[in-house]
Chains A and B, each alone.
Chain A
Amino acid sequence: MPPDSLPRDPDAFGDVYRAHAGRVYALCLRLSGDPARADELTQDVFVRAWEKLDTFRGESQFGTWLHRLAVNVVLTDRRSSWRRDRHVTAVEDPAALERPRDLPLVDAMDLERAIAALPPGARTVFVLHDVEGYRHDEIAEMGGIAVGTSKAQLFRARRLLREMLER
């Protein structure tokens, strides 16, 4: 979508919403681990995208630009506990392991649940790296954290997921 064809009319932005809502919602849902928050965050993303539409210069695909903006909105949302959790180093989070472990977890549904059960910092990096495919340097830049922190959180996420899913 070239920059000069971007809608200037709020009603026409509805087409943009319809084309990208699913992608944005999936991201918000997984990053927040909370369906109630995901609705609100999805709305916030599109409102912010509308406000920042002038800053899209066509240097990437519009979908890519929107996706990064969505990550930014979710990560800078004060209500998420990601901000406090990022200071924690690879320490066991007991709450994450309190899920029922007698279920053999083998399918996508179980992985989704396990991801939602991760502590916020680990979940964020896991979703961005292993699900969405961002690199550590990109995650570090988007989240305002160090590359080392991103790697430490991924390490922690993978270990916790393995523990949750192998029982």
Chain B
Amino acid sequence: MTTTDRMPAPDDEPLDPRLARLARELPRDIAPPADLWPAVRGRLAPRRRQWWREPWLQVAAALVAVAAITLAVTRHGGETPAPVAAAGATALDSVPGVEALAPETAAALRRNLAIIDSALAESRRVLAADPGNPDVETMLRLVERQRLELLRQVGRLPRS
């Protein structure tokens, strides 16, 4: 940590010594109220080339391959290409509790997941060609967030 320049300039409003001491002594380390690691972990894309070794990425890898061949969902959110929809099914099946959902609910979740994964593949593809593009990074985070929230939502749905 760099040292503080504590010599006040002539136009500085000096801080009351009592307040200055309090400010310096404020705790600089505060444990977050909840463990944020799972949420962070869910948003980390692999950094090394052999990503196929990561277990959960095997699903994502399948989706990227499929989406690269089958173009992304049309902009008007219509038909989801069958291979992408099928891949979405695989990812959802690994979430505990999915088998207890009403079939119509599970089918709707699969459709939504397929839409998200298609957008995710599209974002990753563009980011790979144009790394460090903040617009694309923001979009990637949006879709990753949506994916995480969808999988979490499964746990909150009533079981039949």
Q: Do chains A and B touch in the complex (CB under 8 A)?
A: yes
Cβ-based interface call for A131 (8 A): yes
**A110 to B, closest residue via Cβ:** B22
Cross-chain contact B16 with A162 (CB below 8 angstroms): yes
Q: In the complex, what residues of A have CB within 8 A of residue B2's CB? A: 64, 133-135, 138
Contact with B along A47-87 (1 / 0, CB 8 A): 10011011000000000100100000000000000000000
**B14 to A, closest residue via Cβ:** A158
Cβ-based interface call for A101 (8 A): no
* Interface hits, B89-113 → A, CB 8 Å: none
B: number of interface residues (CB 8 Å): 42
Q: In the complex, what residues of B have CB within 8 A of residue A50's CB? A: 44, 47
The listed residue (B18, B28, B34, B137) touching A51 by CB distance below 8 A is: B137
Q: In the complex, what residues of B have CB within 8 A of residue A35's CB? A: 33
Cross-chain contact A22 with B12 (CB below 8 angstroms): no
Cross-chain contact A23 with B28 (CB below 8 angstroms): yes
Cross-chain contact A132 with B28 (CB below 8 angstroms): yes
- Complexed CA–CA distance, A165 and B29 (Å): 24
Contact with A along B30-52 (1 / 0, CB 8 A): 11111011011101111110000
**B16 to A, closest residue via Cβ:** A162
Cβ-based interface call for A146 (8 A): no
Cβ-based interface call for B69 (8 A): no
Cβ-based interface call for A32 (8 A): no
- Complexed CA–CA distance, A126 and B19 (Å): 12
A: number of interface residues (CB 8 Å): 53
- Complexed CA–CA distance, A42 and B33 (Å): 12
Given A25-B30, A25-B31, A133-B2 in contact, is the A158-B13 Cβ separation under 8 Å?
yes
Q: In the complex, what residues of B have CB within 8 A of residue A123's CB? A: none
Cβ-based interface call for A10 (8 A): yes
Contact with B along A117-146 (1 / 0, CB 8 A): 000000000100111111110100000000
Cross-chain contact B47 with A8 (CB below 8 angstroms): yes
Cross-chain contact B19 with A26 (CB below 8 angstroms): no
Cross-chain contact A130 with B40 (CB below 8 angstroms): no
- Complexed CA–CA distance, A84 and B4 (Å): 27
* Interface hits, B1-17 → A, CB 8 Å: 1-5, 9, 11-16
Cβ-based interface call for A161 (8 A): yes
Cross-chain contact A26 with B47 (CB below 8 angstroms): no
Cross-chain contact B19 with A165 (CB below 8 angstroms): yes
3 closest A-B pairs by CB: A22-B29, A133-B4, A26-B30
A-B contact pairs, 16 of them (CB 8 A): A9-B54, A26-B29, A30-B26, A39-B36, A43-B36, A43-B40, A50-B44, A53-B47, A64-B1, A111-B23, A111-B26, A126-B23, A130-B24, A133-B4, A151-B9, A158-B15
